Amino acid sequence: MLRKETIPLYKKVIDDLKTAIDKGFYKKGALLPSENDLCKTYSTTRVTIRQALSGLINMGYIIRKHGKGSIVTEPKKGLGILSFAGVTAGVGDHKLNTLILQPQVKQPWPLDFFYELNKVELTKGCIYFTRLRQIDGVPVLYEETYITNINLPRFTSKKLENVSLFKTIKDHYNIDILTGEQKIWAVNGDKTVSKLLNIKTSQPIIHMKRRLQTNINDLNIYSSLYCNTQEYFLQDFF
């Protein structure tokens, strides 16, 4: 669990406001309380509050207008990582579910792994699992994930169905994604993938390889994804 003894005040402010926005307490276009109001609420000063607000700007939760206030915006879909969106704008999360095909298992890295690994990573081995994302029961994305097996006690027993992987590792191990890299191809799926996605092998699909770096040294998250973009597409805000 590794709950921090004390979390900085500005992070608490970020968390509170973020949660309030996520829960719909502040709707898109609404104004957050002014800096001075927040100062009173948290018994702190503008420097600290502004530090929090600039965090929310970076996350894409708000924009700020001189003389006006902090305006809630549509949050960025996480770090510029390509994420799903429906052809019609209004596809909500409720239609999307995640199926675990291969639950988390500790194993050595594959010999022909698609990224170069350093010594520490090779020594530690990885945790491997595969997931299938469906929208309205239709499979659209198949993902194979490898995480360096460092400081992840009991991770193999965590339930990953229908939860955000990033939120899980953040909540349980306080791991943040710092940077990342993704490579993208258009390919024809092989038999296995085509069968999982329930399409013909002649149907073009997106293939992606990702490497995400975290705030823990040598703890990286690698994944290989295949995505059927016939009815849906991949989307990216920045």
Partner DNA sequence: GGTTTGCGCTTGTGTATACAAGTGTGATCT
Partner DNA sequence: AGATCACACTTGTATACACAAGCGCAAACC
Binding site for a copy of itself (CB under 8 A): 47, 54, 58, 63, 79-82, 85, 178-188, 202, 204-206, 227, 229, 233-238
**CA 17/CA 30 separation, integer angstroms:** 13
Q: What are phi and psi of 4, to 5 degrees?
A: -60, 145
Contact 195, 226 (CB under 8 A): no
49 is written with which tokens? 């509050």
**CA 96/CA 114 separation, integer angstroms:** 28
For 177, which DSSP code? Answer: E
Q: Residue 45 binds which one of a copy of itself, DNA, none, with CB within 5 to 8 A depending on kind?
A: DNA
Q: Residue 70 binds which one of DNA, a copy of itself, none, with CB within 5 to 8 A depending on kind?
A: DNA
State which residue, 56 or 197, has the beta carbon closest to DNA.
56
**Least Å distance between CB 72 and DNA?**
12
Q: Which of 29, 67, 90, 92 binds DNA (CB under 7 A)?
A: 67
Q: Which stretch binds DNA (CB under 7 A): 48-56, 112-120, 124-132, 170-178?
A: 48-56
Annotate 115-160 with DSSP letters as a single string: S---HHHHHH-EEEEEEEEEETTEEEEEEEEEEE-SS-TTGGGS--
- Rounded to whole angstroms, what are the CA distances from 225 to 4, 5, 152, 209? 34, 37, 23, 6
Q: Which of 15, 37, 171, 231 binds DNA (CB under 7 A)?
A: 37
**Least Å distance between CB 106 and a copy of itself?**
29
**Least Å distance between CB 177 and DNA?**
17
48 binds DNA (CB under 7 A): yes
Q: Residue 59 binds which one of DNA, a copy of itself, none, with CB within 5 to 8 A depending on kind?
A: none
Contact 139, 228 (CB under 8 A): yes
Q: How many CB atoms are closer than 10 A to CB 34?
A: 14
35 binds DNA (CB under 7 A): yes
Q: Which of 16, 44, 117, 172 binds DNA (CB under 7 A)?
A: 44
Which stretches of the chain bind DNA, using CB under 7 A?
Answer: 6, 8-11, 32, 34-37, 43-48, 50-51, 64-70
